[in-house]
Structure 1
Amino acid sequence: MMSEETNDFKPLADADDATSQQPVTAAADYPATGAVAGTAATNNSATGNAADRATDEPAKPAKSSKPSISMSDLPDLRATFDPNAPLDDSSDRSRDEFTTVYDIIDSIEEELDEAKPILFAPSSVRVDRESFTGKLDKLKKMLPVQLERASALMRESERRLESAQTQANAIIASAQSRAADTVREANEQAQFLAGQENVTELARQKARGILDQAQAKADKLTQNADKYCITMMESLQQQVDKIGTGVQAGLNVLYDRQREAGAYLDHLDADDYPEN
């Protein structure tokens, strides 16, 4: 406790004093703690209990100069925070800034748990006004800092995620481009090889055609030459046979003539030779 003086909070106070005297519900304002405790204090004027008047002397709550927490009072970090600027860790910031908001909420919850309940109102407790409002004020001051750091961390994480995504997209695009180039080169090489094979096959087929034509022409020329030679030899044979027949006939005539002439020729006798 920051002060020994305690104050009673009246939940049914007038409208002009509602800001400083209204009940504080931890579960509604700070859901992170998970605790529900009413902090409104009530006096016992309605009950008229003498024992309560003797033991708990009510005191008029002093109006606090600290304003209540309102979301409209929080600064707009989007207008004041530079996402490109680094976090300010200069010495002008208090060491209390490193205390998290949850620590303050836990402290408030602990104070509510340790506060003494009010007689005939077990759901209400009596707390130190200065201590409680001081913690609320500290919480109000720390919320922008914590939100600013959280926003900075979120922006940094988003920037890194975007950078990683951009880098991943670039790597994927490069890989896809290289794969497309490889496939295109492979297709071109395959088409070239296929073209070379087609040219070679066409050359082979053409060479076979030329050889077949040359062989056919050679066979035809050989057959024609053989036919011509046979024809000439047969003609010559006929002529030779005809000449041979004529020669034989002439020889037969000469043989007959010789036999006939020999029969009529005079032969020499022994007397026709000269004597010695």
Structure 2
Amino acid sequence: MSTDYQQAREALGIRLRELRLTAAGGRLTGPQLAQLLGWGHSKIYKLEGGRQTATAEDLTAWAAAVGRPQAVEELLVRLRGFEAQIRSWRRQLAAGHRPVQDTWNIAVGEARTIHVWEESVIPGMLQTADYARHMLLRYAELYGTRPDTEEAVRSRIRRQDWLYQGGHRLHALVWEAALHARICPPSVLAGQLDRLVAAVGMDTVELGVIPLGAPLRIPPASGFWVLDERVAVTEDWHSESWVEDGETVAMYLRVWRSLRQAAVVGAEAQAVIGRAQRAVR
């Protein structure tokens, strides 16, 4: 758990304690508030101490119990502020992969321009159903999540409708290594590479491939997405981060533009993809 995330959670806990101590009907003890809410009193102290993450329902109930319903919006803004930063996979995948894909569909649906960099996999917006299925199966095995792979695949593929709507533009960069990664059977990878070749000719897609031997201005590092220059999304093995801070989003776009200088597009990109096709076949 990041320091920023924990500090934000502790700050929310301090605010909850302030509301309890200044309740409209008079100061409440932890056990008194717990009784009003029907909670175990340990939950009160965990929330106030920043040792448990509140839900929106928790915050709404807390504000009502202390007689300060007007504080709900403030509390929810605080929650959205740090929940938007780090979303653990354990929590996100508790109900399976389909809800995560649905959340992404909503975010993408609100965007008109997307910049994406992937160093080890094909971007989801350009995946075939078979490739997406193998990707999601691998993650389901890793995290031990509920088996909703087919629903998740359908949701991910529906996201690609965005590519066929006017006024949209996907700027995708892929490292050549991603074209060779055998995270699926060769036949599936071959079909995926065919899909990439077709994407090169789409008027809503700019697909750049960075050859393995290309000189790089910065290390390729991990993949990320930038939606409309307003939110940057990155992920690692334990969480996914959504960052809306303007300076940070601008930094990710600078990284993308730096990587773009090493990429080839058009016929040259097709030639790099062709090398991968020959290798897999």
TM-score by length of 1: 0.19
- Structure 1 or 2: more strand by fraction: 2
Larger radius of gyration: 1
TM-score (norm 2): 0.19
